[in-house]
Chains A and B, each alone.
Chain A
Amino acid sequence: MDGAHDMGGAEGFGPVVPEPNEPVFHADWERRAFALTVAMARPGGWNIDMSRFARENRPPEDYLSKSYFELWLAGLETLMIERGLVTREEIEAGKALAPPKPGVKPIAPNEVTPAIRRGGATEREPKQPAMFAVGETVRMKNIHPVTHTRLPQYVRGHLGTIELNHGCHVFPDTNSLGQGEDPQWLYTVRFDGPELWGKDGDPTLSVSVDAWESYLERT
């Protein structure tokens, strides 16, 4: 979706403000919201693309006015309500009003470290050969899916060069909708500054995105 989360090239947000000696979390609720979100993914049965979509799929003013972990909290609530794990009434009341959904098994303490250290690889066995070769010029499709996509607006329609081939990876656009992993070849596509930002763009700049094969077309 062309939402407020897709920020590349936007103007007016002001300077970057680094924080010296920044702590990992700035409040206890951030710790708990982070841990709840990570710990609920497996019992909740959603994948990373679904959780990204749950965070970004909201009105721009809502997205932009929430802090990072407030977005995580809002995303977590959405994912749980959608699956009938909790109700909106329970969240508003701040207490359980209905029995739990059966068969939901929590992450046990002894599973935490192994699960984090294992992670969730997204590379899959290729089913067909790659369509594009390293060094080839490609054009990014000008598409505007209304659901989750990882093709940022600032590169759509632009010409780039295939720089790396990362193998076949789970495709977020379908995975976020529960329509399967549909693994596709994933490439690093590199763009020159002026191609993206016009003739006044920094000629010493190049920018790359990682793009699935169906985001690309031949020139």
Chain B
Amino acid sequence: MSDHDHDHHGHHHHHDHEHSELSETELRVRALESILTEKGYVDPAALDLLIDLYEKKIGPRNGVRVVAKAWSDPAYRERLMKDATAAIAELDYSGRQGEHMVVVENTPEQHNMVVCTLCSCYPHPVLGLPPVWYKSAPYRSRAVSDPRGVLRDFAVTLPDITKIRVWDSTAEIRYLVLPMRPEGTEGWSEQQLAELVTRDSMIGTGLPKQPSEAA
């Protein structure tokens, strides 16, 4: 949880101590998996499938589809704001850590940001597993007291008069931010609009790309 942990997560380990610490955990997890397999509590093939699901199927591209559809289809947007769980299920996304969804809409007057100060609650079906920074102490501590400072860490500045609304996910309700559709995208297709939606814009720590930044 500390800055020190970024080293654990990084790809480069500069000194032996950290290297051996990592290996110890690696060995501990391997041993645990073999104990649980030997005892017949887990099937390694099921573990492989679980990992594959979270690495390949469940990720922010799902949320991108939800947002792009909401931007281009007013009736869908209305259903999404009224019953997000059902509207998201229309696109075939549902389940673990997204059982009770609420979508919160950014406007020129109000910017929304989502956090879980107590652990790492995050809407998996639409955004996947949370990034390290979302689970880290710096974000969890300051998102509720100094969200403008947190936004500066993401190089985002909002007008002083824009209200900031922070949603602390302390129960099983999961929040997805519906960012504002960028100006200059009139007549764009849903597929074109999808190019502008970023993961962070759906958490509230970022803004969508501008049309000039589209790939």
Decide if B72 is an interface residue (CB 8 Å cutoff).
no
- Say which residue of A24, A85, A188 sits within 8 Å of B41 (CB atoms): A85
A154, B41: Cβ atoms under 8 Å? no
Which one of B23-31, B73-81, B187-195, B207-215 is at the interface?
B23-31
A168-B78 Cα distance, complex, nearest whole Å: 25
Decide if A181 is an interface residue (CB 8 Å cutoff).
no
Nearest CB on A from B185, distance (A): 25
Residues from chain A with Cβ under 8 Å of B171 in the complex: 122, 150, 166, 169, 172, 186, 210-212
Given A14-B3, A17-B6, A121-B100, A204 and B161 contact (CB-CB distance below 8 Å): yes
A106, B43: Cβ atoms under 8 Å? yes
Residues from chain B with Cβ under 8 Å of A68 in the complex: 1, 5, 120, 132, 135
Decide if A146 is an interface residue (CB 8 Å cutoff).
no
A155-B39 Cα distance, complex, nearest whole Å: 45
Residues from chain A with Cβ under 8 Å of B4 in the complex: 65
A133-B173 Cα distance, complex, nearest whole Å: 19
Residue of B nearest to A76 (CB): B32
Within 8 A of A (CB), among B1-26: 1-6, 8-11, 22, 25-26
B31, A106: Cβ atoms under 8 Å? no
B50, A35: Cβ atoms under 8 Å? yes
User: Which bucket holds chain B's interface residue count?
Assistant: 35 or more
Decide if A9 is an interface residue (CB 8 Å cutoff).
yes
Residues from chain B with Cβ under 8 Å of A86 in the complex: 32, 35-36, 39
- Say which residue of B38, B132, B161, B169 sits within 8 Å of A19 (CB atoms): B132
- Say which residue of B29, B36, B41 sits within 8 Å of A29 (CB atoms): B29
B31, A119: Cβ atoms under 8 Å? no
Decide if A143 is an interface residue (CB 8 Å cutoff).
no
A66-B38 Cα distance, complex, nearest whole Å: 28
Given A18-B154, A96-B39, A108-B43, A8 and B168 contact (CB-CB distance below 8 Å): yes
Interface 0/1 of A92-125, CB less than 8 Å to B: 0011100111001011110111011111111100
A39-B120 Cα distance, complex, nearest whole Å: 19
Please report the number of residue pairs spanning A and B whose Cβ atoms sit closer than 8 angstroms.
Answer: 295
B118, A38: Cβ atoms under 8 Å? no
A34, B51: Cβ atoms under 8 Å? yes
Given A90-B35, A96-B39, A100-B40, A19 and B46 contact (CB-CB distance below 8 Å): no
Chain A to chain B contacts (Cβ below 8 Å), 27 pairs: A7-B140, A8-B117, A10-B137, A13-B137, A16-B138, A16-B139, A16-B142, A25-B51, A27-B9, A40-B41, A65-B4, A73-B25, A94-B27, A94-B35, A96-B35, A104-B41, A106-B46, A107-B42, A112-B49, A116-B95, A119-B99, A122-B172, A150-B171, A169-B100, A186-B173, A201-B145, A202-B148
Leading 8 A-B pairs by shortest Cβ distance: A94-B31, A210-B171, A8-B117, A100-B39, A119-B95, A35-B47, A10-B141, A119-B96
Residues of A within 8 A of B (CB): 4-11, 13-19, 22, 24-29, 31-36, 38-40, 43-44, 48, 52, 55-56, 63-68, 70-71, 73, 76-77, 85-86, 90-91, 94-96, 99-101, 104, 106-109, 111-113, 115-123, 150-152, 154, 164, 166, 169-170, 172, 186, 188, 196-197, 201-202, 204-212
